Structure 1
């Protein structure tokens, strides 16, 4: 039985972490905390947590807690994660793992020194369509990846966050980045993982097209990888009314389409016009009916209980963050950034 605590009781905790912990027979939710103590108490009651605290320090003082989910605003990820590690807890930290690379490295170093596990919440890797797509790409039958386009967009945090339009997502001091840090970082990790490749160059444009905020609500990155593929990454909070969570990968011998068809989550189109259609579980979505098990809590828990560790490490979180920061720098400096 793994005893866990959840730090931050916002939407991601209420819709993903806590329900998925609760669904497991080998997990006990010991405590939750939130700066809004009333919210913490309500969430504790809803998910059967023994304790509700206002500060993470109180939660970390619970000696029986072995692992924590860090679901606080972005600017607190690094400090809370490091405090949790120093308290001897395994950590699942939401993305982006930090607001800069120095913070991210400190998190990785702290986990190594303390001998605990640090996992970053890049949930796209655990979607069945992406797992199957990676299997196909790794087989090599489609040949070398030539280009790609990956997109993650929806109508914005005001329709997702528990705080609506007043959410910290819209405050640069707390979020550090807008949609690039929220959605773009997911696709940055996904492309690295799917292609088994690293990003070498980024040219980006971003802006605030429609939201009343001081962070970006739409961003486009042109990306070149070390193996020579060239593609685009688009992240947006301005996709009204429908969400787009799709990836298309163009290879020498065919095209792989993910999330482009309502019925078939994955379609492979070969040069000879043959099509393979896979009717897999629905891709994770913020829309009504789109909240299926993300797989990320299962992986976190099992990696601890089985001692096998995790496939999304602090190093992976670092590299995804590096891509986001390079995109921001490219847009601000109006030049290509090399990694």
Structure 2
């Protein structure tokens, strides 16, 4: 069988560090074209890996290249634009998170995927971490009972990515840590909970560290800093989600705040047990033989899931697997994030139903 031909749009840090290694390692894919507004940077990658074609216009790439898959790694604003064009051109699409910068754009992506019959998948790498796979099985096998509440977040002490560049420019990014980091942990919590339907949210956002130059997080290296550039997004967001089944989820995401250390977490509580996933450390809280017990599973830590997510996508394209992620989940995600921003602006709860 001939390898699936991949064309990538956007060749920045996430593509180079997370996407490209997975495409190169997969025996069923071949990267044949790159597209980036920075032609010199794209050409450098192409020369290094023997990729034959480089473009600065993705429409030209779609028209000239016989592609099976388009990998979207642009700034957030362009995710939906490129994905919809690729789907309408009959290509499967794998997109970096977030799905889009607005519910309307996320819905366009989902509709284009349905109409084209092609696979659309957006990066949900945390679902593929070994500890997440363990927890999903633990939940599905009934060990949690009814999951009715929890909290999740990713909080940094000082970790603003690409300050002054597209990350901190709302028009291009859609927002700050809520849309940047929120997709990761909210998605993980919702996945464990069985993807309940959100019906209402409330939230608050803050910008208190736009002037800081301090950084203590490796993640602050993402993006390209621009001295004197734009910073019109939040650096911390808090929120609360209500679901149709009565469950609730509290959340907190920050690029900068005065805390002890950077932490990403999901904590859920069920009628039979609960758990705390703090970075890579997992603890289960339950009852055994009438005794309250804390259990700490010994799970091997393996990567961050990006490669496994892409390999799963390839298996779905080839008909070897059912998709773990479906576009409607992406629409729900962007509805949640957008409504939290709206709630912060209005100062009240926002209904989604």
Q: What is the TM-score with the length of structure 2 in the denominator?
A: 0.85
Counterpart check, 1:337 vs 2:353: no
1:146-184 C-alpha deviation (Å, 9 max, x unpaired): 3211112344353xxxxx334311111111211111111
> 1:234-313 counterparts in 2 under 5 A?
234-238=252-256, 242-259=261-278, 265-271=281-287, 272-282=291-301, 293-306=306-319, 308-313=321-326
| CA apart distance, 1:279 | 2.9
- 2:184 maps to which residue? 186
Of 233, 238, 251 in structure 2, the residue corresponding to residue 215 of structure 1 is: 233
The root-mean-square deviation of aligned C-alpha atoms, in Å, is 2.1
Distance between the aligned counterparts of 2:9 and 2:322, measured in 1?
21
Q: What is the TM-score with the length of structure 1 in the denominator?
A: 0.89
| CA apart distance, 1:242 | 4.3
Distance between the aligned counterparts of 1:43 and 1:103, measured in 2?
30
1:8, 1:70 within 8 Å by CA — same for their partners in 2? Answer: yes
CA spacing shift, 1:188–1:302, aligned 2, 3 Å: same
Distance between the aligned counterparts of 1:230 and 1:116, measured in 2?
34
Structure 1 unmatched ranges of 5 or more: 159-163, 285-290
- 1:319 maps to which residue? 332
1:192, 1:198 within 8 Å by CA — same for their partners in 2? Answer: no
2:151, 2:251 within 8 Å by CA — same for their partners in 1? Answer: yes
Of 69, 72, 83 in structure 2, the residue corresponding to residue 70 of structure 1 is: 72
Distance between the aligned counterparts of 1:257 and 1:300, measured in 2?
29
Distance between the aligned counterparts of 1:312 and 1:12, measured in 2?
20
2:312, 2:321 within 8 Å by CA — same for their partners in 1? Answer: no
| CA apart distance, 1:294 | 4.2
CA spacing shift, 1:241–1:26, aligned 2, 3 Å: farther
- 1:287 maps to which residue? none
Of 29, 32, 52 in structure 1, the residue corresponding to residue 31 of structure 2 is: 29
CA spacing shift, 1:63–1:54, aligned 2, 3 Å: closer
CA spacing shift, 1:38–1:279, aligned 2, 3 Å: farther
| Equivalent residue pairs, number | 325
Structure 2 unmatched ranges of 5 or more: 212-230
Higher normalized contact order (CA 8 Å, seq sep 6+, divided by chain length): 2
Moved more, 49-58 or 87-96: 49-58
Distance between the aligned counterparts of 1:173 and 1:96, measured in 2?
14
Secondary structure (helix, strand or coil) at the match of 2:256 reads: coil
CA spacing shift, 1:309–1:47, aligned 2, 3 Å: farther
Of 244, 264, 274 in structure 2, the residue corresponding to residue 226 of structure 1 is: 244
1:222, 1:232 within 8 Å by CA — same for their partners in 2? Answer: yes
Distance between the aligned counterparts of 1:232 and 1:292, measured in 2?
25
| CA apart distance, 1:283 | 7.3
- 1:93 maps to which residue? 95
1:189, 1:317 within 8 Å by CA — same for their partners in 2? Answer: no
| CA apart distance, 1:11 | 1.4
1:213-272 C-alpha deviation (Å, 9 max, x unpaired): 100111111122222223311111116784312111122232212135x6xx32212132
1:188, 1:323 within 8 Å by CA — same for their partners in 2? Answer: no
